[in-house]
Structure 1
Amino acid sequence: MANVFDYLDWRGDLTLGLVPLCDVDAVVLSRLSYLPLDGLVPPEGAPVGALMRQLLASKPPLLLPEDGRFIPALVASQRFCEMRIMDYVNQIDLESQTQFAAITVALGDGRHFVAFRGTDGTLVGWKEDFNMAFTCPVPAQRLAAHYAASAMLRFPGEFLLGGHSKGGNLAVYAAAFCPAALQERIAAVYNNDGPGFDAEVIALQGYQRICARVQTFVPQSSIVGMLLEHEEAYTIIHSTGDGFGQHNLYTWEVLRDRFVTLETVTNGSRFLDRTLKQWLAGLEPEQRERTIDTVYHMLCETNAETLHELKENRFSRALALLRSAKGLDEDTRKLLVHAAGVFFRSAGRSLKQARVPDEQES
């Protein structure tokens, strides 16, 4: 089945002047924000092709193995290689639990695409994601709104915003909470399997003004993209991955210049969506915060900084977690037991709901 790499082969020789920007292009540009461009992007920016050649020469660690195939494909693509990447930002702050990265891409047709990076595999990055369950805005959302507004003040013309995973959420937040005069220049926002927002945020004027321009895409077994609430309609894309692997953009199936779509998400996705929403509703905001903070600090006690490191030396990491658990005070232990109980009860209710025909669900 075809994917982004096939698209780059098929359409790579067709510039935006010949074939307009499409949803697959937005995914390609969103993935660009994940590449480690630290120290490579000059103040005036540089062409995508030139930067990708520098990456190939420097051989930095990449977040996904497929990125190693993605980079040379961009070098060979006439469609993307002359676009210019500018204003690369990459910030990680353990103290404020912030992980934020973004780029601005001059498309070559007078428009600019602002792409926000999703979670980068660091524990602090995932912690900030979970913070969205009880806090809005988190630091990355504030930074995204400031970054987008600064880009629009610096460059004239039409803007598109996009991102994958948390980056999709940041793109929507930035579009919703930039000044109204700048908001008018945003043609579209691409949220690629990113979480939504709570009902209070969705009801705000800024969100309502931009909502019709938000395009949300989720794979059929979406987990991340179904978190929290989405008022905008979303498109379900067929992924060739399994389970959480469908979150990987490289598994999304492409047909010429569009994604292959489906009518509904899977039963498993609906089950997890109901379970997580009921679990969050069953905990007070303070309980959510304390639960997430406790689990995060326990993981930090393993001295791992990334999920990859957490998977290494599993025995020693498990021992560190056990020692950390033993050091918890009685109230915190009770809170974790309570949170776990709420989760399993939510899962039980979701399982019962899954057995009820759709027309009987309330």
Structure 2
Amino acid sequence: MSNIFDYLDWRGDLTLDQSPFNAVDNLILSCVSYIRFEGIVPNSTVAVSITKAFARFSALPEEEQKLRLRVDEDGHLLRKLAQSRRFSDMGLCLYDDQLDPILEKQFCGLTILTGDGLAFIAYRGTDNTLVGWKEDFNMSFKTCIPSQTEAAEYLKHAAGSLGAIRLRVGGHSKGGNLAVYAGIHCGAYLNRIEAIYSNDGPGFPAEVLESSSYQAVSGRICTFVPQTSIVGMLLEHAEDYTVVHSKQIGIAQHDPYSWEILGPDFVCLESVTAGCRFMDETVKVWVDDMSPEEREQFIDTFYDILSVTQAQTVSDLAHFSLKNARAIKQTLENTDPKTKKMMTEAISKLLDAAKDSFHTLLPHKKASE
């Protein structure tokens, strides 16, 4: 089956005048936000074409190029876009990239002038940093995380800087959540938003979905999840979502390059898988069974344990050493009894939630059988 790259091969020569902006274009531009454009795209309304951005990126030393990419496919995507009639002249501007371990904030916003009279505001999803993943987990006990606040401010700043141009807003993973959050809190600029795209992005607490500000924007939200979505099923969604077929399995379906495409649209399915429903139910039961304070303590303790390895990224954790193992062991031994008890109980609750979800979702036989 085909993916983003096949789409660019087959339809990359069609301008937006010939074939209007679609959901696949949204996913592509959301992926562009993962590339680190420091020194390439300015944090101003002076736009740099994708062609020029690729040329500047290519001029960097090879090792630096690798450091600026989340995955190799992102670099391949930038090259394909620069060669594409559909995307090459799109302008990149207002690049704002922030990483603050103290505030536990990982944020990046990028504005893309698509050439059809609109701008696409793309929010980066969770990157490879432990800070980024920690901020995601913080959503389980906080009604607002720092990157959400930044996203709302970024949208208002971009909208105010670009004049009366209409907007599309989107992102992948946490970026999809940020796009929705920004739309909820953009005030008067809401009238200029044509659509908000969440590509396997986490949802929100129930109180957010019940708010009048969410209701005002909900009709413009387009949510896409793969058939065994895990990240996109976190927290709650009130809007309908479209299930996209991924060629991967399990958590790997979160990879946007695995989403299958046919013509100008995704290959869609009627519903998510039983495995997805199992994970969704398990996590919801587990989270509901802990107070916000317990969730915070569990996540903070888990993060502290990982931090003793001196790892800055998830990739760093893959290079596990005996020294790291000793550091983690020492940290666990030094953890106070109360915290140890809390961690044990939290893990026990997770196992209980999984067992309950399994029995709930398991088809029941009729009494006559």
Provide the identity percentage.
44
Report the counterpart of residue 354 of structure 2 in structure 1.
347
In structure 2, what residue type is equivalent to 1:175?
G
Q: 1:339 to 1:227 in 2, by over 3 A?
A: same
Following TM superposition, by how much is the alpha carbon of 1:18 offset from its aligned partner in structure 2, in angstroms? 1.3
In structure 2, what residue type is equivalent to 1:112?
A
Q: Which of 122, 130, 136 is the matching residue for 1:115?
A: 122
Q: Which of 39, 47, 50 is the matching residue for 2:49?
A: 47
Secondary structure of the 2:228 match is coil
Report the counterpart of residue 180 of structure 2 in structure 1.
172
Report the counterpart of residue 30 of structure 2 in structure 1.
30
Following TM superposition, by how much is the alpha carbon of 1:72 offset from its aligned partner in structure 2, in angstroms? 1.3
Is the Cα contact below 8 Å between 1:145 and 1:178 reproduced in 2? yes
Long gaps (5+) in structure 2: none
CA distance in 1, matches of 2:196, 2:80: 25
Establish whether residue 200 from structure 1 lines up as the match of residue 207 from structure 2: yes
Is the Cα contact below 8 Å between 1:49 and 1:75 reproduced in 2? yes
Following TM superposition, by how much is the alpha carbon of 1:329 offset from its aligned partner in structure 2, in angstroms? 0.6
Long gaps (5+) in structure 1: none
Q: Which of 165, 169, 190 is the matching residue for 1:161?
A: 169
CA distance in 2, matches of 1:289, 1:73: 42
Following TM superposition, by how much is the alpha carbon of 1:110 offset from its aligned partner in structure 2, in angstroms? 1.6
Is the Cα contact below 8 Å between 2:100 and 2:106 reproduced in 1? yes
CA distance in 2, matches of 1:29, 1:41: 15
Instruction: Extract structure 1 runs of 4+ deviating beyond 6 A.
Output: none
In structure 2, what residue type is equivalent to 1:299?
L
Is the Cα contact below 8 Å between 1:163 and 1:171 reproduced in 2? yes
In structure 2, what residue type is equivalent to 1:327?
N
Secondary structure of the 2:194 match is strand
Following TM superposition, by how much is the alpha carbon of 1:68 offset from its aligned partner in structure 2, in angstroms? 3.0
Deviations 1:112-132 (A, max 9, x none): 100000011100000000000
Is the Cα contact below 8 Å between 2:122 and 2:171 reproduced in 1? yes
Secondary structure of the 2:15 match is coil
Following TM superposition, by how much is the alpha carbon of 1:6 offset from its aligned partner in structure 2, in angstroms? 0.4
CA distance in 1, matches of 2:353, 2:296: 18
Establish whether residue 290 from structure 1 lines up as the match of residue 292 from structure 2: no
In structure 2, what residue type is equivalent to 1:47?
S
Deviations 1:135-155 (A, max 9, x none): 021000000000001111111
Report the counterpart of residue 150 of structure 1 in structure 2.
157
CA RMSD of aligned residues (A): 1.3
Aligned residue pairs: how many?
358
Q: 1:316 to 1:265 in 2, by over 3 A?
A: farther
Following TM superposition, by how much is the alpha carbon of 1:314 offset from its aligned partner in structure 2, in angstroms? 4.2
CA distance in 2, matches of 1:198, 1:272: 18
CA distance in 1, matches of 2:88, 2:365: 48
Deviations 1:283-337 (A, max 9, x none): 0010000100110111111100000001103443332221111111111101101
Secondary structure of the 1:80 match is coil
Pairs within 5 Å for 1:220-299: 220-299=227-306
TM-score (norm 1): 0.97
CA distance in 2, matches of 1:357, 1:6: 43
Establish whether residue 133 from structure 1 lines up as the match of residue 140 from structure 2: yes
Deviations 1:199-244 (A, max 9, x none): 0011111111000110000000100000000000000000001211
Secondary structure of the 1:113 match is strand
